[in-house]
Each structure stands twice: as C-alpha cells, then as structure tokens.
Amino acid sequence: MDEKPEIRPMPRIGDPAPAFEAETTWGHLALEDFKDRWLILFSHPADFTPVCTTEFLAFAEIGNDPLMVDK
C-alpha cells in the first residue's frame, strides 16, 4: 500500500518557514542550521528568465556583508 504524501498549505507572509533540508552549492543544509540568525530564502521559478536574472544580479550587488548581520 502506497502512502500519500502530506499536503501542506503554502506558507503566508509572517508564517514561520517550514523545516527543510537541501543539497546546495555549500553542501547539505537544513533550515535548523540557521536558527537564531537572519536568513534570506531565495527561489526562482525557472532558469534564464528576466526576473530570475534581475534578482540574482541584485543579490550579487549587495555582497555578503549586509546579509551576514549576525556575524
């Protein structure tokens, strides 16, 4: 018998982020790794779209220091 996956509603602004783990360019990371720290979760809808490129460039211009306010 196959188990059905749990269906969760999409988080809304102000809701806590759901726990997750992912393979990243920095290795295996989990949301819990950033507990009590500032974190920006960035996702793009598709590769090579104008919105995606604009957002990536904006993050690159910011640099790392402003994003790491909890050093």
Query: Interior CA angle at 62 toward 10 and 46, to 5°?
Result: 40
Percent of the chain with pLDDT over 70: 72
Higher per-residue confidence, 25 vs 46: 25
Tell me what the mean pLDDT of segment 25-30 comes to: 88
Residues 6+ apart with CB under 8 A from 39: 31
Structure tokens at 57: 């460039």
Per-residue pLDDT at 35 exceeds 70: yes
This prediction has a pTM of: 0.51
- pLDDT, one tens digit per residue, over 12-25 is 888 888 888 988 88
pLDDT of residue 1: 60
For 8-24, the DSSP string reads -PPP-TTSPPPP-EEEE
Residues marked active site are found at 52
